[in-house]
Structure 1
Amino acid sequence: MLPPLSRLFGLLALLALASSGAARAADWVHWRGPAQNGHSLEKGLPADFDPALKDKGNVVWSAPFGGRSAPLVMGGRVYVVQGFGEGLSESERIVCLDEKSGKKLWEHVERIYHSDVVSSRLGWTPLTADPATGYVYVNTTAGNLVCLDKDGKEVWERQLTEEFGRFTGYGGRVSAPTFDSGLVIIGIINSSWGDLARGANRYYAFDAKNGNVVWIADTGPPKSTYQSNPVVAVIGGQRLLITGGGDGALHAFKVRTGELVWSYVFSGGAVNPSPIVDGNLVYCSHGEENPGGGVIGKVICVDASQIDPATKRPKSVWEYSKGQRFGLSSPALADGVLYVPEDSGELFAFDAKTGKLLWKYRYATEVRGAPLVADGKIYIFDVKGRLNIIKLNGRKAPDEDETFVYIFKESINGRPVQTETNGTPIAVNGRVYFTSRTDLFCLGETGSKPAAAKYPAPPAEAPSDGKVAGARLYPAEITLTPGGTYKFSVVYFDANGRELKAAPGAPVEWALPLPDKTPTGAQPPALIGKVAGSPTEGALELGPNPAQQGIVAFKVGALTARARVRVAPKLPARTDFDKAPDGSSPGGWINTNAKFAVKKLPDGNQVLSKVNDKAPPPLAKAIGYVTVPTASDYTIQADLMGSEVRGKLPDGGIVNSRYSLVLDGKPDAKLQKRTLRLTSWEARERINIGVPFDWQPGTWYTLKLAIELKPTAAVLRGKVWKKGEPEPEKWTIEFEDPHPNRDGAAGLYGYIPNVLDSGGKTEPGSELYFDNLSITPNNKGGK
């Protein structure tokens, strides 16, 4: 049940006020610091260190919790996210430590699944936090957006892959969340359902208190995965979220509504670095091809106070493009100088106002981590185990003889090996914090007393005129089950997205209209149910239909708003696809449009087919998610058939609680036969068990996967047999996972690896069909 509207307005107003100023000086809750520019105002920071000498070597403390991102400091605690464990225990965790002593206070573990990211790239998304509540937010590699309280207790979680169709690639480029104005905002590349089924770079704003969706913004088709983390700034009196995107552009949205204010396309590929804002000026860089050709890579500065009314594009102030790739590290800004690392390890310093190149300094050969500018020094990692502390020399190039370099070394069986370092240092409360691959360090000058620096207040927003400029429904998207009633609140806001209590006195309309057409041109039906309400709230009463999706629409005077509603099936759930229109995707499923489609076979049987004429990986390989992510303790069964094309079969299977039972289309290298495989995290063999099963093209098989939950483990049991034959008593494959996934959406998996795409001509690959899907609770009571 939602809170009364008056209480909701009050909560959001307080949160907006709490986040309208800079973070407290004693907190570092954005990975680029209180000013979000990589510049710390701390003084008396060490120019060198030696872990072997401990406090005499300026090392206040260290702890065995390394990582790839920047630490977070809030309320006397330090937080890091990291990959840890090996084999079956390999996971991610958020670790909380005491800021003064480095003592571990708690840890929260998250399993890995639904990702092509390998273990060496885990924990690469910085944390964000709300100092007012003490809540910490993390986006895990598996796509869990998690809110933890200061004691490590989970407050809420959203599964971005199973709920919104998030996609990740091998490179580990996943964007981090940003907290502001009572919202947790994150950018993802996804393919959801309905009008959001088309693959795009989208931004989702979640209520920081409970995880409800507040708004969704769409920027268009991505060029690839990306890792630009948003910043928040007030420009021209407007509070804006500014970020690079997977579509090659720099975007600015109104923080509280998601309304796109301006865009600046400047890259032919994805934009990975995070932007920096200084007054009206916005800086960013990339390492891809440039639109219109020319050399690779660019640094830009735009004036976001001067927007072309026709193109919605800010004015270009200066740009630098001479063939350097500025694509994998983010810049820093301090005292009028913009510091931009080039991918090969050369640091460029520009006059921030004019773009004049002041100097270049070679410090490495390969970089990912961003620079920290603090106390007249730059702290910056390279990939190959080196932390450089570069003494600045005004506007002149640094002196190499005054640069301190520490090389982190590891050994395996007594032999030295290179350690990879990709993190970004931070400086807060008179201390420097950073992670190597294996450890978290706190540095401080011997005998110094930590003191928090004071940061200037950010620009103020323009005062509200009290006029209603728009309305939205809250939540903006929700997943429900058949039957029952749900209430939506109507939120009115001014031109800058701030909530207003007054509601217009015009007549009110609530409706369940036809949704927008899907990207394939199909017209989905309207939601089956009833909706009615007042100017401040509406009640949706759903029918018993097992799976559907649609829109709730609201209108008062000239103001309109809508919310997306997905109705997921309750368990038990069964479908044979006979009632679905030919060419459609199942209603209420995630990540199926343009990837799966209902098809009538020559024998008259209507089935679900995996689309086999799309070569890009996000389309060739996909899981269609059927239930809600909290489904657990159930059994899934489905029929499957594949065809052989150019000597190859597809991969196809079923998904239960983030475990996949797959008929592998390629022969096993050792067995020289096709196999039945049980997997969990495809990029790593945390679980990857295969048994010979030489399945044949053109033959229907039945697959069954049951997950039995135990107090400290899960027993996975899968079997396969020819359709129509008696079900075998013995399971084909069994495994006990001591580090189990305890819930997860049921789904169907398909991969067509042999689509030919050459010279603009596409030749379809193998066919893959599914039929007679059933998802049933186990005897002990699934949900």
Structure 2
Amino acid sequence: MKHLGFALLALAAAGSPAAARDWIHWRGPEQNGVSRETNLPGSFDPKLGAKGNVVWRQPFGGRSAPLVMAGKLYIIQGVGEGLHEGEQVVCFDEKTGAKQWAFRVNVFHTDIVSSRLGWTTLTADPATKTVYAHTTAGLVLALDPDGKLLWQRSLTEEFGRISGYGGRIVTPVFDSGLCVVGMVNSAWGDMAKGSNRFVALDGKSGEVAWWGDTPGAIKGTYYSSPVVAVIGGQRLLISGGADGALHAFKIRTGERVWSYRFGAGVINGSPVVDGNLVYCNHGEENPEGGAIGRVICVDASQLDAKTKAPKLVWEFKRSNRFGLASGALAGGKLYLPDDSGELFCFNAKTGKVDWKYRYASEVRGAPLVADDKLYLFDVKGRLLIVPNKNGEEPNPDDVFEYKFRDPKGLLNETNGTAIAVNNRIYFTTRTDLFCLGVPDAKDACGKYKEFAAETPADPAGKAVGLRLFPADVTLNAGGKVVFSATPVDANGRAVKAAGTVELSLPLPAKTPTGAQPPALKGKADGLTVTVEPVSSQQGYVEAKLGDLVGKARVRVAATTMYKQDFDKVPEGAVPGGWVNTQAKFAVKKLPDGTIVLSKVNTDSRPPFARANAYITGPNAANYTITSDVYATEVRGRMPDIGVVNSRYTLILDGKPDDEKKSRQLRLVSWEARPRVNLATNFDWQPGTWYTMKMSAEPQPGGKVTVRGKVWKRGETEPTAWQFEFADPAGNATGAAALYGYVSDPQITAERPGADIFYDNVTVTPNGK
């Protein structure tokens, strides 16, 4: 298996922000919520069409900000109902609103409900015109301007991305040839521990260029959107995190430069940057207690010699929750709404509150500052246009307000943020996409600020690091990967260094229990690594050039010809090459001497209590998975057990049905929504081994036939399937996995919940 080289040389000059007449970051070309457009409407009326400053309108709603690039407008949204419910990226002609294409995907492996689909914003590469999306299911999509899929990665199945009910997933950002996505995840090896990490995917190939990790314990899922800025001559990615801190990473390498912890919960607010000053906000408790919520300004050019934390310039703590919206920075003012709909205008240099303006009761969208106006949404279906020349306090008599209603006359939520580009205002409500503009207005736009200059690159300068690309790769048994190894300077730009790069396959670090995992089984020859024909293993590749050292991760995933009885897996460990498994599952020896895989039953936190252990890669297709399963009953509770095939889950439900008083066998594809949600009585019992079998078979026209059955182990396999379902919007591919959910919220290490055991897992091609 050969991989494309990472063009680090091309990253030496990352360039300035996108063209002023494009809008490829949800906060605009300066990434601060400011548009330099002029002659924008101060009012509108959809009933009057163009005479009411409504240029066009399309029945495509959303929760996030549109993206505009090269005459096209893009949104991401939830779409469809019932079996056809999913998510899609839609492209329109910017001038006319004519729909050009839509790219649809299913939703799976998430608790996020349909009302919160499409909450991330798109990003793009202005050079290639590629559009990138991070979907609710965890797919990162790269689409060309005509809607062709260039590549995709499944963050959930490949890297154990975790999502929560609240819809908190992170908008990607494109810079320096990379599409960077933040997430909470738990993968394998040195990334088995749950953490808030950032992955940089090469914009052209989708291969992993680097991982960046945050140091603190995760507090939950989050949705702070990263920004890119140059501070102190370094090009940085800056983002709030799931560990209560603000973080900065070198954009080309993922090396963390600094962190500033200011929350006891997650940071959802997106930072804004002005020169060396970085602003951010949260609506959680504070580490030191006291008032809830916080706004900070730090000077990122002044780092503490010991802690590497930036210097605090000012902070605001007055029991205001600034947890759901982000701020806008213009003319020395920071405009930031709290969660209850009160807009604060801070003096950006001092933190003094110049004025406050109550305009809503619930806010998620961020302010847009444009043409001496503030464009503000509240959740309850209102857009306000507030005169704002020189940042003066609003006069309520001068504020324009419009209330949106859906086609049935009901409240039409407005959760997104408006954008202003090419003399137009674009935004979505829950049901519609709007383009506003003044008829015959003069087309004019002020000049956007460019990034500060980076420290000049010197190709003959000193190399301080060695980057292996790809930095994280999945192979099949017997496969090979060709790496590129590039010496880089302090800003991650390619430099020359004498000598020959040598690759090796080192021993991994010992586990917390002291066990020594094996090295990757394979051979390094030059810059090529070939793994042995051994399925389901993992390890590391180390590169050396003089005193420079680089590292890459290699997973050898199981194929659809796989068997695992756990007999050769050390007790307390998990099979090599499985994702999202360590700390959630562990091999165990039963009193009768049987070796099984057990589900961890001592932690009630959702990522530990319920989990999928991913066995194959996400491109597995047309296969059958079987597993023997067993459960106990503790304090009147039984767990849920299942197998996963192509993003469908066959589940033995531990809770009896309220009406039928019997336990059930269920088939689902999206646990939070009944897109596929079939159930039949199957009163399975504790203390009994069962065999679960599930197949997914792609059919012509995008259909997939899903079959499932369960029987007592040792008995004759029944001929009939308990489920045989033809999904018209099928999942043609997806990782094979095991599912377990120990649902008792009171479990602890001293008070464990019910046991789940798995044995004799097989994955085989259909028909064999």
Name the TM-score, length of structure 1 as normaliser: 0.96
| Structure 1 residues 293 and 373: CA distance shift in structure 2, 3 A | same
**Distance in 1 (alpha carbons) for counterparts of 2:514 and 2:80:** 47
Could you tell me how far apart the structure 2 residues matched to 1:448 and 1:87 are? Answer: 44
**1:39 partnered with 2:34:** yes
Cα offset for 1:25?
Answer: 1.1
1:305 is displaced (CA, Å) by 0.6
Task: Give runs of aligned pairs for residues 511-530 of structure 1, distance below 5 A.
Answer: 511-519=504-512, 521-530=514-523
Task: Say yes or no: does 1:321 pair with 2:321.
Answer: no
Alignment of 1:193-342 (within 5 A): 193-220=188-215, 221-342=217-338
Counterpart Cα distance in 2 of 1:587 and 1:265: 35
Alpha-carbon distance between aligned partners in 2 of 1:561 and 1:159, rounded to the nearest angstrom: 25
Is contact 1:288–1:327 with CA below 8 Å preserved after alignment? Answer: yes
Choose which of 676, 681, 703 in structure 2 pairs with 1:692. 681
Shift of 1:530: 1.2
Residue correspondence of structure 1 range 176-195 to structure 2 within 5 A: 176-195=171-190
Alignment of 1:764 onto 2:752 = yes
Match of 1:362 among 355, 358, 362: 358
The Cα of 1:375 is off from its aligned counterpart by: 0.5
From 619, 634, 648, the equivalent of 2:623 is: 634
Q: How does 1:675-690 map to 2 (within 5 A)?
A: 675-690=664-679
Letter in 1 for 2:546: G
How far has the Cα of 1:210 moved from its partner? 0.4
Q: Letter of the aligned partner of 1:494 in structure 2?
A: D
Select 2:73's aligned residue among 74, 78, 85.
78
Aligned counterpart in structure 2 of residue 487 of structure 1, from 482, 506, 509: 482
CA distance in 1 between partners of 2:276 and 2:173 (Å): 21
Residue 453 of structure 1 and its aligned partner are, at CA, apart by 4.0
Q: 1:577-626: per-residue Cα shift (whole Å, max 9, x none)?
A: 11111111110000000011111111111011111111100000000000
Q: CA deviation at 1:503?
A: 2.9
How far apart are the structure 2 equivalents of 1:202 and 1:217? 6
Quickly say closer, same or farther: Cα 1:294–1:370, change in 2 above 3 A: same
Q: Deviations over 1:525-566 (max 9, x none)?
A: 111111132xxxx11121121110001111122110111000
Q: CA, structure 1 residues 504+579, in 2 after alignment: closer, same or farther (shift >3 Å)?
A: same
Structure 1 position 484, deviation (Å): 3.2
Greater CA deviation, 330-339 or 709-718? 709-718
Supply the AA of the counterpart residue of 2:573: S
Aligned partner of 1:455 among 448, 451, 454: 448
C-alpha distance in 2 between matches for 1:549 and 1:165: 15
What is the rounded CA distance, in whole Å, between the counterparts of 1:155 and 1:520 in structure 2? Answer: 43
Contact 1:674–1:695 under 8 Å retained in 2: yes
2:486 corresponds to 1:503: no
Alignment of 1:709-720 (within 5 A): 709-712=698-701, 713-720=703-710
Change (3 A) 1:551 1:15: closer
TM-superposed deviation, 1:360 = 0.1
Aligned letter for 1:444? G
- Aligned partners of 2:127 and 2:446: how far apart in 1? 19
Contact 2:56 2:97 in 1 (8 A): yes
How far is the alpha carbon of 1:15 from its aligned partner?
5.1
- Alignment pair present for 1:778 and 2:761: no
Aligned equivalents of 1:3, 1:544: Cα separation in 2? 19
Shift of 1:571: 2.3
Distance 1:394 1:579 in 2: 71
Deviations 1:709-752 (A, max 9, x none): 11121111111100000000011122111111110000000000
Letter in 2 for 1:770: Y
Contact 2:244 2:264 in 1 (8 A): yes
Structure 2 residue corresponding to 1:722, chosen from 712, 728, 734:
712
User: Which of 106, 130, 133 is equivalent to 2:128?
Assistant: 133
| 1:144 Cα deviation after fit | 0.1
Equivalent residue number for residue 432 of structure 1: 425
Once the two structures are TM-superposed, the CA of residue 755 in structure 1 deviates from its matched residue by 5.1
Deviation at 1:457, TM superposition (A): 2.2
Does 2:654 correspond to 1:665? yes
Q: Cα deviation per residue 1:358-402 (whole Å; 9 max; x = unaligned)?
A: 000000000000110001111111010011111115343100111
Matched, 1:344 2:353: no
Check whether the contact 1:68–1:435 (CA below 8 A) recurs between aligned residues: yes
Using the alignment, how far apart are the partners of 2:3 and 2:598 within structure 1? 44
Residue 753 of structure 1, CA deviation: 0.6
Cα distance in 2 for residues equivalent to 1:87 and 1:673: 26
Q: Which residue of 2 aligns with 1:104?
A: 99
Q: How much has 1:356 moved relative to structure 2? A: 1.1
Residue 398 of structure 2 aligns to which amino acid in structure 1? E
Determine whether 1:624 maps to 2:613: yes
1:153 is aligned to 148
Alignment check: 8 A CA contact 2:3 2:482 kept: no
CA–CA separation in structure 1 for the residues paired with 2:41 and 2:413:
23
Instruction: Assess if the C-alpha contact under 8 Å between 1:329 and 1:342 holds in 2.
Output: yes
Amino acid corresponding to residue 50 of structure 1 in structure 2: D
- 1: CA distance, partners of 2:314 / 2:642: 53
Query: What do residues 318-354 of structure 1 show as CA deviations (whole Å, max 9, x unaligned)?
Result: 1111110011000000111000110000000011111
Which amino acid is 2:67 matched to? L
Question: Cα deviations across residues 200-238 of structure 1 (Å, max 9, x unaligned)?
Answer: 000111101100101101113211110001000001111
The percentage of aligned residue pairs carrying the same residue is 59
For 2:265 and 2:695, the matched residues in 1 are separated by 42
1:572 aligns with 2:561: yes
Alignment of 1:108-119 (within 5 A): 108-119=103-114
Compute the displacement of 1:451 (Å).
4.1
In 2: Cα distance, 1:4 partner to 1:646 partner: 54
Alpha-carbon offset, residue 754 of structure 1: 1.5
Aligned to 1:299, the other structure's residue is in SS state: strand
2:502 and 2:543 in contact (8 A); partners too: yes
Alignment TM-score, normalising by the size of structure 2: 0.98
**What are the ranges of 5 or more consecutive residues in structure 2 without an aligned counterpart?**
none
Which residue identity does 2:115 align to in structure 1? S
> Residue 58 of structure 1 aligns with which residue?
53
Match of 2:162 among 164, 167, 170: 167
Equivalent-residue separation in structure 1 for 2:682 and 2:529 (angstroms):
49
CA distance in 1, matches of 2:656, 2:707: 22
Change (3 A) 1:514 1:773: same
Aligned residue for 2:406, secondary structure, equals strand
2:671 aligned partner, one-letter code: E
Q: 1:234 is paired with a residue of what secondary structure?
A: strand
What corresponds to 1:754 in structure 2? 744
CA distance in 1, matches of 2:539, 2:150: 29
Q: Secondary structure at the match of 2:157?
A: helix
1:4 CA drift (Å)? 8.7
Partner residue, 1:654? 643
DSSP-derived class of the 2:410 partner:
strand
Matched residue, 2:383? 387
Q: Which residue of 1 aligns with 2:693?
A: 704
Number of aligned residue pairs: give it.
764
State whether residues 622 and 733 of structure 2, in contact with CA within 8 Å, keep that contact through their aligned partners in structure 1: yes
Contact 2:11 2:252 in 1 (8 A): no
Secondary structure, counterpart of 1:274 in structure 2: coil
Give, in whole Å, the separation in 1 of the partners of 2:281 and 2:711: 55
Task: Kindly state the Cα deviation for residue 14 of structure 1 after the two structures are TM-superposed.
Answer: 3.7
After alignment, is 139-148 or 20-29 more displaced?
A: 20-29
Taking a change above 3 Å as real, the CA distance of residues 448 and 106 of structure 1, as seen in their structure-2 partners, is same
In structure 2, the residue corresponding to 1:703 is in which secondary structure? strand
CA distance in 2, matches of 1:570, 1:4: 22
